[in-house]
Structure 1
Amino acid sequence: MSAPITAYKPCESLRPFVEVFWEGSFNANALEPLSMRVIPSGCVELIIHLNDLHCELQNAYGWSQSPEYMIIGLFTRPYEVHFNNLVKVFSMRFKPEGIYNIFGIPASVFNARYEDMSLVLGSEFRDFSHRLKEEKSVAGMINRAQSYLMKNLMRNNIELNYVNRAAELIRQTKGLSIEELSGYVFISQRQLERGFKEKVGITPKHYLRIMRLNEAQRLLNDHHPMNLTSIAYQCGYFDQAHFIRDFRSITGEVPSIFIKGRSRFIANSGLAH
């Protein structure tokens, strides 16, 4: 991650649903407006702005200031974000299938767009967010967030199902075919694709592609010099041309340009502390 972001693992009970908590500051010097490209992470972000200055995102009517408490759905293409001043945020990054277990709302509702989460969840969420912003430390914010999420998880009492298991297998292996995946979760391929699209908003195959490219970004950051053949193979590709084509569809750039200009991107933050 090029931007100054620090990620933290959730407690054990929340790990099937939450990828990480993270906090960060963007455009810290605020000498001039900053534009960055967000690379799809395969997750859903619930962002709480910690100061009065928010980022700007594009909608059907042009550029506008983002909501104070914002959910960003699962994107499959890169998108731009503007930081005209110093912007401080705390975020809960959900596994796309996991947000349904927490809030009873499928990730598909928010696909490829952002919403004011206070309008979606109401006064209880607004009260929680206000109190989180009053915390004096990141540890305090994480503890409050975990208590709130656990309360929702227990209240909704939605059990893990084949979509949760399939998504976790995709993240762990990145090399399974959809036919193999349906066998592992004991469900027909057609039913798996239907259930996955209902909960996550995209097909298992499309989600697998995003996960492979997330892994490719991590490997590109770790490999010096860059070996595209090796990276493509480790990410489940047997054709370098196919790998480069998919990489460009997710990031907007070929790998060599992506690495050279990595400071312009907000990409997957990697391992949590």
Structure 2
Amino acid sequence: MLFDTYKIQDPELASYIQYVLFNYSDHMMEQQLITSFANNNICLGIIKEKMMIGSSDRIKRAAPKAGIHSYLSGMYLQPHCFGLCGSFDEICIDFTPLGYYRYFKIPLRTYVFGEDVLAEAWGKPAHGFFEGVFSEQDFQQRGCMIEAFLKEKLLVVTQPFLQQCFYYIHGVKISSLKELAARLRCSEKRIVRTFTAQFDITPKDYFRILRFRNALQLMSRCRGMKLTQIAYEAGFYDQSHFIKDIRFFTGKTPGYLSDDLYDIKNDVIVALR
């Protein structure tokens, strides 16, 4: 399996799209199990000649089906596994939480499978556009094509309350619901209602995801760092709090998890088997 990412070049667009990920294999007999972990983005997956489906063993699988197919993956807490077999060509456009609603009117759920997400968002011609993208072999050129397409598709949406929330969370680095409510001069209940309605998770879960992602990056990119230091720098109360959350989000202890981590160009961290 080959992986690559494309960084959005336009400054305005970069605030709405974290990156574009390419997953590709031309080996008919290759089998790969990819585990993705909780993240603060929303993924639009676009696959050529296959459709992503759920299964009874809780592993999402790509089943053969002619044409271009798409799905949405929202924010979630537990690890999600994707079983891939044979040739595979997928584009994943990863939106920031605010960016999602600059492109979609579809209410966000953990997963949207079996629907024509592309046509619902951008009309039937979007299928033809992505057929052309898949015909391009160079991943970075694919990214340029997608960026130009997305620049034309921005919706005019004003969400001042959500914008304020994310300004304080990511700009000022607020890390608790109580402090966020104080900065916004509103009740905690209002923030909880907003996050639950817009993203299907609570703000406390969002803060947990951010701490977890900070820790995951340190574990992947600073292999010699002590667990106590990772816990401190990622924003956990102590090492036991850090280990408890790593187990919650991955099902593994930090020691076992670090051996499985695969970092794609400092943009995406997954576990491979």
TM-score by length of 2: 0.81
After TM superposition, the structure 1 stretch with the greater mean CA deviation from structure 2, 57-66 or 240-249, is 57-66
Count of aligned pairs between the two proteins: 261
Aligned to 1:127: 125
Asked if 1:215 is matched to 2:207, the reply is no
Contact 1:133 1:141 in 2 (8 A): no
Deviation at 1:88, TM superposition (A): 1.7
Q: Mapping of 1:150-229 within 5 angstroms? A: 150-153=151-154, 156-171=155-170, 176-229=175-228
CA distance in 2, matches of 1:61, 1:211: 25
Given residue 149 of structure 1, which amino acid in structure 2 is its aligned partner? L
Return closer, same or farther for 1:31/1:98 CA change in 2, 3 Å cut-off: same
Deviation at 1:248, TM superposition (A): 1.3
Which structure ranks higher in relative contact order (CA pairs < 8 Å, sequence separation ≥ 6)?
1
Secondary structure of 1:6's partner? Answer: strand
Match of residue 62, structure 2, among 62, 65, 70? 65
Deviation at 1:119, TM superposition (A): 5.0
Asked if 1:6 is matched to 2:5, the reply is yes
Given residue 103 of structure 1, which amino acid in structure 2 is its aligned partner? F
Secondary structure of 1:89's partner? Answer: strand
Contact 2:35 2:79 in 1 (8 A): yes
Give structure 1 stretches of 5+ with no counterpart.
none
Q: How big is each residue's C-alpha offset from its partner over 1:79-120, in whole Å with a ceiling of 9 and x where there is no partner? A: 11111113121221011332123223342xx22x23245257
Secondary structure of 2:20's partner? Answer: strand
Return closer, same or farther for 1:6/1:149 CA change in 2, 3 Å cut-off: closer
Identity of aligned residues (%): 20
Q: Mapping of 1:48-59 within 5 angstroms? A: 48-49=46-47, 51-53=48-50, 57-58=54-55
After TM superposition, the structure 1 stretch with the greater mean CA deviation from structure 2, 51-60 or 175-184, is 51-60
Deviation at 1:42, TM superposition (A): 2.2
Q: How big is each residue's C-alpha offset from its partner over 1:109-144, in whole Å with a ceiling of 9 and x where there is no partner? A: x22x23245257438444223213313244543344
Return closer, same or farther for 1:15/1:269 CA change in 2, 3 Å cut-off: same
Match of residue 31, structure 2, among 22, 25, 33? 33
Return closer, same or farther for 1:259/1:3 CA change in 2, 3 Å cut-off: farther
Aligned to 1:97: 98
Give structure 2 stretches of 5+ with no counterpart.
none
CA root-mean-square deviation? 3.2
Deviation at 1:150, TM superposition (A): 3.3
Contact 1:3 1:25 in 2 (8 A): yes
Return closer, same or farther for 1:123/1:18 CA change in 2, 3 Å cut-off: closer
Deviation at 1:32, TM superposition (A): 4.1
Given residue 65 of structure 1, which amino acid in structure 2 is its aligned partner? A
**Structure with the bigger percentage of helix:** 1
Deviation at 1:262, TM superposition (A): 2.3
Given residue 55 of structure 2, which amino acid in structure 1 is its aligned partner? Q
After TM superposition, the structure 1 stretch with the greater mean CA deviation from structure 2, 7-16 or 76-85, is 7-16
CA distance in 2, matches of 1:215, 1:88: 29
Given residue 169 of structure 2, which amino acid in structure 1 is its aligned partner? I
Aligned to 1:15: 14
Contact 2:44 2:72 in 1 (8 A): yes
CA distance in 2, matches of 1:19, 1:123: 19
Deviation at 1:192, TM superposition (A): 1.3
Asked if 1:243 is matched to 2:242, the reply is yes
CA distance in 1, matches of 2:41, 2:92: 12
Contact 2:31 2:84 in 1 (8 A): yes
Q: How big is each residue's C-alpha offset from its partner over 1:185-212, in whole Å with a ceiling of 9 and x where there is no partner? A: 3433221111111111111110111111
